[in-house]
């Protein structure tokens, strides 16, 4: 584990080379844990370097009575979790920084005869939860929020009503919440989203034997249903591949390979976008795990990037990657634009504001829009970046410096990367050839 000073300095790399195995996919990890808890196990889940958000889900499941035993391999990175038993305890649980933990667990708890209060850290307590409460109340669960935010209390019941949910935002966390509640519904639950979102809940539940389908923007689930236990090795997180894809796309001397990565098409929009900008990226699908395609990615630098527009309907598919997209845009010829990304304002930080502030600090020319930004390159500068404790902002601006879009940066909270990517600083040292 790299020793981290309270701040971190990152400068441009002379070249980027190497092959990385990424941390286990955070979205799939949460779902594998929660679906197996509803199944009652026994199941064995293998995950490389699970981040703090996934550890929050494990802590919450333990607090409500699910046995999750952990074992870490000799490299300190490869973890195995055995899951057994169903939730059977009332509790107040701490979701930490993880919105996905809170929203998915709320859905799972709606159909259980328990009373559980879900709380989180200061960032999570600022995020909107009334949308979850409204959705679950329609099924008959009793849900209270604190002025629309966490802590929230879910008093579940069985059976729930099978309803059609029309979601106010294109959010996979809401689709997942409604689908997990649908397991306890008497009949068919339908969830209609206003835009395409990642479909991991549907794939995981289908692999566990549940009658669930995603067709276009509609998810349908036949309840009541109990998932079967499902053991799996969670694939690498394509959102953790994203920093290296952007770094390689920008850097003139880059050749990076990312192996064993989840390549679910609802998660790979960044690859299409970078290719549209002119990047050289190849992907090969090699297998399928629990309905999820898995394979390898190779990204090479040395091409010129062109400006690009991200229209509103593309933003949900890029939601976690948009700060990195902004960095690629600041390195591209011409003026680029992102629209339809209003949801970024209610992530771990207000990511429109934190991204725009970071871009300005490194010398790019930026207009902040209500739901995105417009950016064109400027003369790279050295800057101090305020991460607001947001892992995606820390990673995006570290990559800006590594790839030379900034002359160098100092990050105020480098440790926050471990929410999703514990080994980020080690991997950064590896690809620039400075690993110990």
Q: CB nearer to ligand S3P: give 27 or 336.
A: 27
Q: CB nearer to ligand S3P: give 255 or 348.
A: 348
Site of interaction with ligand S3P (CB under 6 A): 27, 100, 171-173, 176, 197-198, 319-320, 343
Q: CB nearer to ligand S3P: give 255 or 390.
A: 390
Beta-carbon neighbour count of residue 21 at 10 Å?
Answer: 16
Inter-residue contact 429 to 386 (CB < 8 Å): no
Residue 278 beta carbon to ligand S3P: minimum distance, rounded to whole angstroms: 27
Residue 30 beta carbon to ligand S3P: minimum distance, rounded to whole angstroms: 6
Residue 207 beta carbon to ligand S3P: minimum distance, rounded to whole angstroms: 16
Chain centre to alpha carbon of residue 262: 12
Residue 99 beta carbon to ligand S3P: minimum distance, rounded to whole angstroms: 7
Q: CB nearer to ligand S3P: give 35 or 319.
A: 319
Inter-residue contact 105 to 57 (CB < 8 Å): yes
Half-sphere exposure of 420 (CA within 13 A, CB side): 27
Q: CB nearer to ligand S3P: give 33 or 297.
A: 33
Residue 169 beta carbon to ligand S3P: minimum distance, rounded to whole angstroms: 7
CA distances to 4, 93, 107 from 111, in Å: 43, 17, 8
Residue 121: phi and psi, rounded to 5, are -80, -175
Q: CB nearer to ligand S3P: give 194 or 224.
A: 194
First to last CA, the chain: 11
Active-site residue numbers?
A: 320
Residue 47 beta carbon to ligand S3P: minimum distance, rounded to whole angstroms: 14
DSSP secondary structure letters along 346-389: GSSS-HHHHHHHHHHHTT-EEEEETTEEEEE-----EEEE--TT
3-state secondary structure 45-105: EEEECCCHHHHHHHHHHHHCCCEEEEEECCCCCEEEEEEECCCCCCEEEECCCCHHHHHHH
* Structural Rg of the chain based on CA atoms: 21
Inter-residue contact 323 to 295 (CB < 8 Å): no
3-state secondary structure 272-307: HHHHHHCCEEEEEEEEEECCEEEEEEEEECCCCCEC
């Amino acid at each position: 584990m790299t020793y981290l000073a309270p701040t971190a300095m990152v400068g441009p790399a002379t070249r980027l080379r190497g092959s990385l195995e990424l941390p286990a996919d955070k979205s799939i990890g949460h779902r594998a844990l929660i679906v197996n808890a509803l199944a009652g196990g026994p199941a064995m889940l293998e995950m490389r370097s699970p981040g703090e958000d996934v550890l929050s889900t494990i802590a919450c499941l333990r607090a409500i009575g699910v046995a999750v035993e952990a074992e870490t391999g000799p490299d300190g990175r490869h973890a195995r979790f055995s899951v057994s038993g169903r939730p059977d305890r009332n509790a107040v649980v701490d979701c930490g920084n993880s919105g996905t933990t809170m929203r998915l667990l709320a859905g799972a708890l709606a159909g259980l005869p328990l009373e559980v209060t879900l709380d989180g850290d200061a960032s999570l307590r600022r995020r909107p939860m009334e949308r979850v409460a409204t959705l679950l109340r329609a099924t008959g669960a009793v849900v209270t929020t604190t002025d629309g935010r966490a802590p929230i209390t879910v008093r579940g019941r069985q059976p729930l009503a099978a309803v059609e949910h029309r979601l106010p935002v294109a959010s996979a966390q809401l689709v997942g919440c409604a689908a997990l509640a649908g397991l306890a519904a008497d009949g068919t639950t339908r969830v209609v989203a206003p835009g395409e979102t990642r479909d991991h809940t549907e794939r995981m539940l289908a692999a566990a034997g549940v009658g669930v389908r995603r067709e276009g923007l509609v998810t349908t689930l036949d309840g009541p249903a109990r998932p079967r236990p499902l053991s799996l090795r969670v694939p690498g997180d394509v959102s953790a591949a994203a920093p290296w894809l952007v770094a390689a796309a920008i850097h003139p001397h880059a050749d990076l390979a990312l192996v064993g990565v989840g390549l679910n098409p609802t998660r790979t929009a960044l690859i299409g976008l970078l290719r549209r900008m002119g990047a050289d990226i190849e992907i090969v699908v090699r297998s399928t795990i629990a309905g999820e395609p898995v394979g390898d990615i190779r990204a090479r630098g040395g091409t010129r990037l062109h400006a690009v527009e991200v229209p509103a309907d593309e933003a949900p598919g890029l939601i976690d990657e948009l700060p990195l997209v902004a960095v690629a845009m600041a390195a591209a010829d011409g003026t680029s634009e992102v629209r339809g990304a209003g949801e970024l304002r209610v992530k771990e930080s207000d990511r429109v504001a934190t991204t725009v502030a970071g871009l300005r600090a490194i010398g790019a020319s930026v207009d902040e829009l209500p739901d995105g930004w417009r950016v064109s390159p400027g003369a790279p500068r050295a800057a101090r970046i305020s991460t607001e404790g947001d892992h995606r902002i820390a990673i995006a601006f570290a990559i800006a410096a590594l790839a030379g879009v900034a002359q160098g940066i100092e990050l105020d909270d480098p440790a926050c990367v471990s929410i999703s990517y514990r080994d980020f600083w080690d991997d950064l040292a590896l690809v620039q050839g400075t690993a110990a």
